[in-house]
Structure 1
Amino acid sequence: MGRFQVMTMTDAAADRVREIVEARDSAQGIRVGVKKGGCAGMEYTIDLVTEPKAADDHIEHEGSHVWVAPEAALFLLGTQMDFERTTLRTGFTFNNPNQSSACGCGESVELKPADLKALADARAAAEA
Protein backbone atom coordinates (compact mmCIF):
# COMPACT_ATOMS: atom_id res chain seq x y z
CA MET A 1 0.00 0.00 0.00
CA GLY A 2 1.30 3.48 -0.91
CA ARG A 3 1.81 6.36 1.41
CA PHE A 4 -1.37 7.88 2.80
CA GLN A 5 -2.45 10.86 0.71
CA VAL A 6 -3.36 13.97 2.64
CA MET A 7 -6.02 14.87 0.10
CA THR A 8 -7.41 13.82 -3.25
CA MET A 9 -8.39 15.76 -6.34
CA THR A 10 -11.12 15.31 -8.90
CA ASP A 11 -10.50 15.02 -12.63
CA ALA A 12 -11.74 18.62 -13.03
CA ALA A 13 -9.17 19.86 -10.49
CA ALA A 14 -6.42 17.84 -12.19
CA ASP A 15 -7.37 19.32 -15.58
CA ARG A 16 -7.18 22.86 -14.18
CA VAL A 17 -3.79 22.22 -12.53
CA ARG A 18 -2.48 20.96 -15.89
CA GLU A 19 -3.82 24.11 -17.62
CA ILE A 20 -2.06 26.33 -15.06
CA VAL A 21 1.23 24.44 -15.47
CA GLU A 22 1.07 24.49 -19.27
CA ALA A 23 0.51 28.28 -19.23
CA ARG A 24 3.71 28.90 -17.23
CA ASP A 25 7.07 27.53 -18.33
CA SER A 26 8.71 26.98 -14.98
CA ALA A 27 5.70 25.68 -13.03
CA GLN A 28 5.53 22.04 -11.97
CA GLY A 29 2.22 22.23 -10.13
CA ILE A 30 0.51 24.09 -7.32
CA ARG A 31 0.94 24.22 -3.57
CA VAL A 32 -2.06 24.28 -1.26
CA GLY A 33 -1.83 25.75 2.21
CA VAL A 34 -3.94 27.50 4.81
CA LYS A 35 -3.44 30.87 6.43
CA LYS A 36 -5.16 32.82 9.13
CA GLY A 37 -7.53 35.34 7.66
CA GLY A 38 -11.05 36.09 6.51
CA CYS A 39 -14.17 36.39 8.59
CA ALA A 40 -14.30 32.70 9.59
CA GLY A 41 -10.64 32.42 10.65
CA MET A 42 -8.73 30.63 7.88
CA GLU A 43 -8.33 30.78 4.12
CA TYR A 44 -6.96 28.30 1.62
CA THR A 45 -3.90 29.46 -0.28
CA ILE A 46 -2.79 28.31 -3.72
CA ASP A 47 0.65 29.11 -5.09
CA LEU A 48 2.57 28.05 -8.17
CA VAL A 49 5.32 25.51 -7.55
CA THR A 50 8.53 25.87 -9.49
CA GLU A 51 10.72 24.08 -6.94
CA PRO A 52 8.94 21.53 -4.76
CA LYS A 53 9.87 21.61 -1.08
CA ALA A 54 11.04 18.31 0.39
CA ALA A 55 8.79 18.68 3.45
CA ASP A 56 5.60 19.08 1.40
CA ASP A 57 3.20 16.20 0.84
CA HIS A 58 2.91 15.39 -2.87
CA ILE A 59 -0.32 14.38 -4.58
CA GLU A 60 -0.43 13.29 -8.21
CA HIS A 61 -3.58 12.64 -10.23
CA GLU A 62 -3.70 12.17 -14.00
CA GLY A 63 -0.34 13.89 -14.45
CA SER A 64 -1.23 16.87 -12.26
CA HIS A 65 0.94 17.64 -9.27
CA VAL A 66 -0.20 19.29 -6.05
CA TRP A 67 1.94 19.81 -2.99
CA VAL A 68 0.52 20.39 0.48
CA ALA A 69 2.37 22.60 2.95
CA PRO A 70 3.27 20.62 6.10
CA GLU A 71 1.59 23.14 8.41
CA ALA A 72 -1.64 22.67 6.41
CA ALA A 73 -1.62 18.86 6.27
CA LEU A 74 -3.55 18.32 9.52
CA PHE A 75 -6.23 20.76 8.39
CA LEU A 76 -6.53 19.19 4.93
CA LEU A 77 -6.54 15.46 5.79
CA GLY A 78 -9.35 13.72 3.91
CA THR A 79 -10.11 16.77 1.75
CA GLN A 80 -11.17 16.46 -1.87
CA MET A 81 -10.04 19.32 -4.08
CA ASP A 82 -12.34 20.12 -6.98
CA PHE A 83 -12.60 22.82 -9.63
CA GLU A 84 -15.86 24.46 -10.59
CA ARG A 85 -17.03 27.02 -13.09
CA THR A 86 -20.33 28.65 -12.22
CA THR A 87 -21.90 31.97 -13.13
CA LEU A 88 -20.81 33.36 -9.77
CA ARG A 89 -17.29 32.01 -9.42
CA THR A 90 -14.57 29.99 -11.05
CA GLY A 91 -12.00 28.32 -8.89
CA PHE A 92 -10.81 25.46 -6.78
CA THR A 93 -13.16 24.21 -4.10
CA PHE A 94 -12.30 22.10 -1.08
CA ASN A 95 -14.66 19.46 0.30
CA ASN A 96 -13.05 19.33 3.72
CA PRO A 97 -14.26 17.08 6.56
CA ASN A 98 -12.26 19.23 9.02
CA GLN A 99 -14.28 22.34 8.18
CA SER A 100 -16.60 23.26 11.00
CA SER A 101 -18.08 26.37 9.39
CA ALA A 102 -17.63 28.81 6.52
CA CYS A 103 -18.51 32.41 5.90
CA GLY A 104 -21.29 33.30 3.50
CA CYS A 105 -18.96 34.17 0.63
CA GLY A 106 -17.20 30.81 0.85
CA GLU A 107 -13.75 32.43 0.81
CA SER A 108 -13.03 31.85 4.47
CA VAL A 109 -13.49 28.75 6.61
CA GLU A 110 -13.16 27.55 10.16
CA LEU A 111 -10.93 24.46 10.28
CA LYS A 112 -10.03 22.11 13.07
CA PRO A 113 -7.03 19.75 12.91
CA ALA A 114 -7.93 16.23 11.83
CA ASP A 115 -8.32 13.62 14.55
CA LEU A 116 -5.45 11.29 13.68
CA LYS A 117 -6.56 8.58 16.11
CA ALA A 118 -10.06 8.46 14.58
CA LEU A 119 -8.55 8.30 11.08
CA ALA A 120 -6.19 5.49 12.08
CA ASP A 121 -9.05 3.56 13.72
CA ALA A 122 -11.25 3.98 10.64
CA ARG A 123 -8.44 2.86 8.36
CA ALA A 124 -7.70 -0.20 10.53
CA ALA A 125 -11.40 -1.12 10.50
CA ALA A 126 -11.54 -0.74 6.70
CA GLU A 127 -8.52 -3.01 6.24
CA ALA A 128 -9.81 -5.68 8.65
Structure 2
Amino acid sequence: MITITERAALKVKDMLAEQDQPDKLYLRVGVQHGGCSGFSYSMGFDDEKKESDTELHLHGVKVLLDKESQPLLNGTVIDYKESMMGGGFSIENPNATVTCGCGSSFRTATAAGKPEDC
Protein backbone atom coordinates (compact mmCIF):
# COMPACT_ATOMS: atom_id res chain seq x y z
CA MET A 1 0.00 0.00 0.00
CA ILE A 2 1.85 3.16 1.21
CA THR A 3 4.56 3.87 3.75
CA ILE A 4 4.91 6.86 6.04
CA THR A 5 8.35 7.23 7.57
CA GLU A 6 8.69 7.62 11.31
CA ARG A 7 9.90 11.21 10.79
CA ALA A 8 6.79 12.06 8.72
CA ALA A 9 4.52 10.39 11.28
CA LEU A 10 6.07 12.48 14.07
CA LYS A 11 5.38 15.66 12.08
CA VAL A 12 1.78 14.56 11.41
CA LYS A 13 1.32 13.87 15.15
CA ASP A 14 2.67 17.36 15.94
CA MET A 15 0.20 18.85 13.48
CA LEU A 16 -2.65 16.75 14.88
CA ALA A 17 -1.87 17.98 18.40
CA GLU A 18 -2.73 21.51 17.23
CA GLN A 19 -6.25 20.43 16.15
CA ASP A 20 -9.40 20.64 18.33
CA GLN A 21 -10.14 16.90 18.48
CA PRO A 22 -7.02 15.11 17.23
CA ASP A 23 -8.18 11.66 18.34
CA LYS A 24 -11.13 11.88 15.93
CA LEU A 25 -9.05 12.82 12.89
CA TYR A 26 -7.51 10.73 10.14
CA LEU A 27 -4.75 11.69 7.73
CA ARG A 28 -6.36 11.37 4.30
CA VAL A 29 -3.88 10.75 1.49
CA GLY A 30 -5.13 10.74 -2.08
CA VAL A 31 -4.83 11.73 -5.69
CA GLN A 32 -6.91 14.24 -7.64
CA HIS A 33 -7.13 14.91 -11.37
CA GLY A 34 -5.27 18.08 -12.22
CA GLY A 35 -1.86 19.61 -11.96
CA CYS A 36 0.83 20.06 -14.59
CA SER A 37 1.32 16.34 -15.20
CA GLY A 38 -2.24 15.03 -14.90
CA PHE A 39 -2.66 14.11 -11.22
CA SER A 40 -1.88 15.95 -8.01
CA TYR A 41 -1.38 14.64 -4.50
CA SER A 42 -3.72 15.55 -1.69
CA MET A 43 -3.02 15.18 2.00
CA GLY A 44 -4.99 16.60 4.90
CA PHE A 45 -7.01 15.81 7.99
CA ASP A 46 -10.49 14.32 7.77
CA ASP A 47 -12.95 13.32 10.48
CA GLU A 48 -15.06 11.09 8.23
CA LYS A 49 -14.20 7.57 7.09
CA LYS A 50 -16.14 6.40 4.03
CA GLU A 51 -17.17 2.81 3.43
CA SER A 52 -14.87 2.55 0.41
CA ASP A 53 -11.81 3.89 2.31
CA THR A 54 -8.94 1.70 3.39
CA GLU A 55 -7.70 2.52 6.89
CA LEU A 56 -4.04 2.03 7.74
CA HIS A 57 -2.23 2.54 11.05
CA LEU A 58 1.31 3.74 10.36
CA HIS A 59 3.59 4.72 13.28
CA GLY A 60 0.53 5.62 15.34
CA VAL A 61 -1.16 7.69 12.61
CA LYS A 62 -4.57 6.67 11.29
CA VAL A 63 -4.40 7.02 7.49
CA LEU A 64 -7.26 6.84 4.99
CA LEU A 65 -6.89 6.03 1.29
CA ASP A 66 -9.85 6.26 -1.07
CA LYS A 67 -10.49 3.40 -3.47
CA GLU A 68 -9.60 5.38 -6.61
CA SER A 69 -6.25 6.60 -5.28
CA GLN A 70 -5.00 3.24 -4.03
CA PRO A 71 -3.61 1.87 -7.33
CA LEU A 72 -1.92 5.20 -8.13
CA LEU A 73 -0.27 5.35 -4.69
CA ASN A 74 0.69 1.70 -4.25
CA GLY A 75 4.29 1.57 -3.01
CA THR A 76 4.46 5.31 -2.28
CA VAL A 77 6.70 6.54 0.55
CA ILE A 78 5.86 9.77 2.37
CA ASP A 79 8.70 11.39 4.30
CA TYR A 80 9.28 14.71 6.04
CA LYS A 81 12.52 16.56 5.41
CA GLU A 82 14.02 19.57 7.15
CA SER A 83 16.23 22.01 5.26
CA MET A 84 17.68 25.46 5.74
CA MET A 85 14.58 26.85 4.01
CA GLY A 86 12.19 25.04 6.38
CA GLY A 87 10.62 21.62 6.15
CA GLY A 88 8.10 19.78 4.07
CA PHE A 89 6.66 16.44 3.12
CA SER A 90 8.18 14.56 0.21
CA ILE A 91 6.40 11.88 -1.80
CA GLU A 92 8.23 9.12 -3.66
CA ASN A 93 5.77 7.34 -5.94
CA PRO A 94 7.13 4.39 -7.94
CA ASN A 95 4.07 4.59 -10.22
CA ALA A 96 4.89 8.10 -11.42
CA THR A 97 6.45 8.10 -14.87
CA VAL A 98 6.43 11.90 -15.26
CA THR A 99 6.52 14.51 -12.50
CA CYS A 100 6.19 18.25 -12.63
CA GLY A 101 9.07 20.47 -11.55
CA CYS A 102 7.08 21.52 -8.49
CA GLY A 103 6.92 17.88 -7.35
CA SER A 104 3.23 17.99 -6.50
CA SER A 105 1.84 16.48 -9.69
CA PHE A 106 2.55 13.34 -11.67
CA ARG A 107 1.46 11.02 -14.46
CA THR A 108 1.51 7.23 -14.61
CA ALA A 109 1.95 4.88 -17.56
CA THR A 110 -1.52 3.36 -17.11
CA ALA A 111 -3.51 6.46 -16.13
CA ALA A 112 -2.22 9.55 -17.87
CA GLY A 113 -4.84 11.95 -16.51
CA LYS A 114 -5.47 15.28 -18.19
CA PRO A 115 -2.48 17.64 -17.88
CA GLU A 116 -3.03 21.31 -17.17
CA ASP A 117 -0.70 24.25 -17.65
CA CYS A 118 1.90 24.77 -14.89
Please indicate, yes or no, whether the TM-score normalized by the shorter chain is above 0.5: yes
Aligned CA-pair RMSD: 1.9
Using the size of structure 1 for normalisation, the TM-score is 0.75
| Residue identity matched to 1:20 | M
Identity %: 33
CA contact (8 A) 1:7 1:76 kept: yes
Aligned twin of 1:59: 56
Q: Distance in 2 between matches of 1:90 and 1:110?
A: 25
- Give CA-to-partner distance per residue, 1:58-93, whole Å, 9 cap, x none: 121221111111110010111111112224563222
Q: Which amino acid aligns with 1:46?
A: M
5+ residue gaps, structure 1, are 1-5, 115-128
Q: Which structure shows the higher strand fraction?
A: 2
Q: Distance in 1 between matches of 2:110 and 2:70?
A: 9
Q: Mind listing any 5+ residue stretches in structure 2 that lack a counterpart?
A: 112-118
Distance (Å, rounded) in 1 between the aligned partners of 2:44 and 2:4? 16
**CA radius of gyration, larger in:** 1
Post-superposition offset of 1:99: 0.6
1:30 maps to amino acid: L
For 1:25, which of 1, 20, 24 is the aligned residue?
20
Q: Which has the higher contact order (CA 8 A, sep 6+)?
A: 2
Letter matched to residue 81 of structure 1: I
Judge which range, 70-79 or 13-22, deviates more: 13-22
TM-superposed CA distance for 1:47, in Å, is 2.2
Question: Counterpart of 2:37?
Answer: 40
Task: Give the aligned length.
Answer: 109
| CA distance in structure 1 between the partners assigned to 2:32 and 2:86 by the alignment | 21
Indicate the SS of the match to 1:109. strand
